[in-house]
Amino acid sequence: MFVSIPRSIALLACIACLPAAAADEQHYNQISLRAEASSEVAHDRMHVTLYSEAQHEDPAQLAARTTEAMNKALQRARQAKGVVVSQGSRSSYPVYEEKGQQITAWRERAELRLESADFAALSKLTGELMQELKMGSMHFSVSDAIRKQNEDALLKDAVAAFRARAQLATEALGGTDYRIVSLNLNSGGYQPVMRNFAMKSMDSAPTPEVEAGTRQVSINADGVIEVQMP
């Protein structure tokens, strides 16, 4: 059986619900906190960039010489075990006379990029190739697998640090307890570090002496807590 409710009663009922709904949406004693956990991780990847650069009046001869030098270097590099070999950029440009109106020669540069987890092998290869090529750069990095492994281990530490800071904040405010409203865990991020290198004498060729160093890996815990007051 259908029962008709007077509009005035229905309106009063809705108005009575408003304070309760508004109270549910209000949040008091909320605090934003940040904590961090970090560790030092040894670089496990070595990156080397070598290049050939020459100048000649005939651009065709210049290109042929550059190609010959790079092909020779590539063939040698591919023989090294555990070394990832790739070609970098290659460019050529005209060289003008003093007034800048007439081309007097052409200059060409080509890069060879090497990467490996075997520092000794890559250092030896680099020394051999530097008999024909020049050193462009050397740097070290942490591989994705090692980075992820360390970040996963730091997750629990970051959460524990956040909880400890939340407890301190609760006690400082005179609260009895707290609840976590939101919590975001993010990697601190990092980039490879450029390193200087020295040369030492070897039997056949000079070899770059390397010191890979370490990198700090971190996890940041950013969140909001709501302190419960007595």
- The greatest distance separating any two alpha carbons of the chain, rounded to the nearest whole angstrom, comes to 105
Q: Which of 105, 83, 84 is nearest to 93 (CA)?
A: 105
HEC string of 107-137 equals: EEEEEEEEEECCHHHHHHHHHHHCCCCEEEE
* Domain 28-44+143-230 class in CATH: alpha beta
Does pTM top 0.85 for this prediction? no
**Residues near 220 by beta carbon (within 8 Å), at least 6 away in sequence:** 34, 35, 36, 158, 185, 186, 187, 188
Q: Which fold has domain 45-141?
A: Alpha-Beta Plaits (3.30.70)
pLDDT for position 137 = 92
The rounded average pLDDT for each run of 10 residues, N- to C-terminus, in the chain (230 residues) is 46 44 61 93 94 94 95 95 95 89 93 96 94 93 90 93 96 94 83 44 57 86 94
Residue spans per domain, the chain: 28-44+143-230, 45-141
Beta strands in the chain (DSSP E): 30-42, 45-56, 83-96, 103-116, 134-141, 177-187, 193-194, 198-200, 207-209, 214-228
pLDDT for position 54 = 94
pLDDT for position 12 = 39
